[in-house]
Structure 1
Amino acid sequence: MLLPLLCVIAVPVAGQEPVGPGGYRWLEEGPFVGPLYMVISIERQMVHVYDGDRLVGIASVSTGMKGHRTPTGEFPVLQKREWHRSNIYSNAPMPFMQRLTWDGIALHAGHNPGHPASHGCIRLPYAFARKLFGMTQVGTLVSVTSDRLSPVLMVDALVVGDPGSAVVTFAPQAPVVLAQRDETAAPMLEVDPGIFRLRLMRR
């Protein structure tokens, strides 16, 4: 039997303005305290970069074209190489490569027309890829989605229904409880409304 999931979608209030093909924008200069993570939308051909619960950068991307689709899912960075060449596609250059899968999917600097044009990799504007490479580490999480750019926390009903269970933010400061349940209380959400607007959805 499939159990419903409680999805908490946090939508950043600012910084949602689109950038053109090959464009990018950093909303903060750092230092970044992390943890850092990215959300990539295939439909919108965009990446949003978060430092903890703050949106700090956005950029246009180019994902896999027809017949070479970029897979969706949650991927940790597996390997980083500043100067890398493809083992699959004619030794093609892949500067500032951050590997997401061992079968050839990676983030890297490359031609960025604002539409799907790669063989499955996620191409980034060159200057953006260079700075991002210096910010991440092996294990940095990357969420590749069909059409979403905001962070999503998915909590299984078994977790929400477990007395005493709690879900907390990734913020490096004192953790903020997002959802907690006991025998008498429903799950509660506590996020600074100045940072996020929240939508709750059940599926």
Structure 2
Amino acid sequence: MDSILKWLGGGVAAVLLGLGGAALATGAVGRSATDRSASAKVVPAAKSKAAAGPAAEAGKAPPTAAADTRFTVKRILPIDGPIKYGEWHWDDKGVPDGPLVMTVDLDARVLSVFKGGYEIGAAAVLIGTDEYPTPLGTFPILFKQRHNVSEKYDNAPMPWSMFLTRDGVAIHGGSVVENGYASHGCISGPDAFVSKIFAIAKPGDRVVITRGETIGMGDKIV
């Protein structure tokens, strides 16, 4: 399939794909109410075994740690239909304090923001191409930079950058979030949406990037 690549601001590529996939052809990304491609489901890490102590020696089971529900999905935003490119949603009213976790589904091209298990934001985003792929995995935010430019791509603006890798993969704004566009491996969203994340995110907050996996109410995010 022929394609023409044009590099734009924020390290973003405009790709003329012809008959591309469904998401690119329609300008929208998939999303269902509870179990949906907008969020990523990850297998929780195995719990470490408790060290044997007096209770174990006496034939008693060691005490079980209380479940950490801060990373359990308690709410999914009620968004009707697929999220279109350039569209974003945010509702953090009444949400209690809790750890911030973001999920990115590369198939759905959707970033979701969870605070203490409550989804507070969701948006269609740009992701990388086959040549410049967005990596899969769980990444902590390493550092933030409000006014950032890409030295690699002609000082292209990348405001509200939250870096996930040492080689420059970040969540950032500064891009045209439209059908047919892609990034050099970063996750780029609408400025107004990314700026809200930037205001509350901190180094160490985790970003889970998967492909085609889903979570629903009561599932673990990480």
Q: TM-score, normalised by structure 2?
A: 0.61
Q: Tell me, what secondary structure is at the counterpart of 2:196?
A: helix
**1:140 & 1:114 partners in 2: Cα distance?**
29
Question: Does residue 24 of structure 1 match 2:88?
Answer: yes
The 5 A counterparts of 1:87-126 are 87-109=151-173, 110-114=175-179, 117-126=182-191
Structure with the bigger percentage of strand: 1
Task: Name segments (4+ residues, structure 1) moved above 6 Å.
Answer: none
**2:180 & 2:108 partners in 1: Cα distance?**
9
Question: Does residue 145 of structure 1 match 2:200?
Answer: no
Q: Deviations over 1:37-88 (max 9, x none)?
A: 1000110000111011111111110000220010010000001011001121
**1:29 & 1:11 partners in 2: Cα distance?**
14
Aligned to 1:47: 111
Structure 2, unmatched stretches of 5+, are 1-41, 45-71
Q: Tell me, what secondary structure is at the counterpart of 2:139?
A: strand
Structure with higher Rg: it is: 2
Aligned to 1:79: 143
Structure with the bigger percentage of helix: 2
Aligned length: 150
Q: How much is the aligned-residue C-alpha RMSD, in angstroms?
A: 2.6
* Distance apart, 1:198 and its partner CA: 5.3
Question: Does residue 15 of structure 1 match 2:78?
Answer: yes
Q: Tell me, what secondary structure is at the counterpart of 2:121?
A: strand
Q: Which of 107, 112, 134 lines up with 2:199 in the alignment?
A: 134
Structure 1, unmatched stretches of 5+, are 1-5, 152-195
Q: Residue 39 and residue 91 in structure 1: after superposition, are their counterparts in 2 closer, same or farther (change >3 A)? A: same
Question: Does residue 63 of structure 1 match 2:127?
Answer: yes
Q: Tell me, what secondary structure is at the counterpart of 1:134?
A: helix
Aligned to 2:3: none
Q: Percent identity?
A: 32
Q: TM-score, normalised by structure 1?
A: 0.66
**2:106 & 2:178 partners in 1: Cα distance?**
13
**2:120 & 2:93 partners in 1: Cα distance?**
8
Q: Deviations over 1:3-37 (max 9, x none)?
A: xxx94796955535432101100132366512001
Q: Residue 103 and residue 13 in structure 1: after superposition, are their counterparts in 2 closer, same or farther (change >3 A)? A: closer
Q: Tell me, what secondary structure is at the counterpart of 2:112?
A: strand
Q: Is the 8 A contact 2:73 2:119 kept in 1?
A: no
Q: Deviations over 1:163-192 (max 9, x none)?
A: xxxxxxxxxxxxxxxxxxxxxxxxxxxxxx
Amino acid at match of 1:59: A
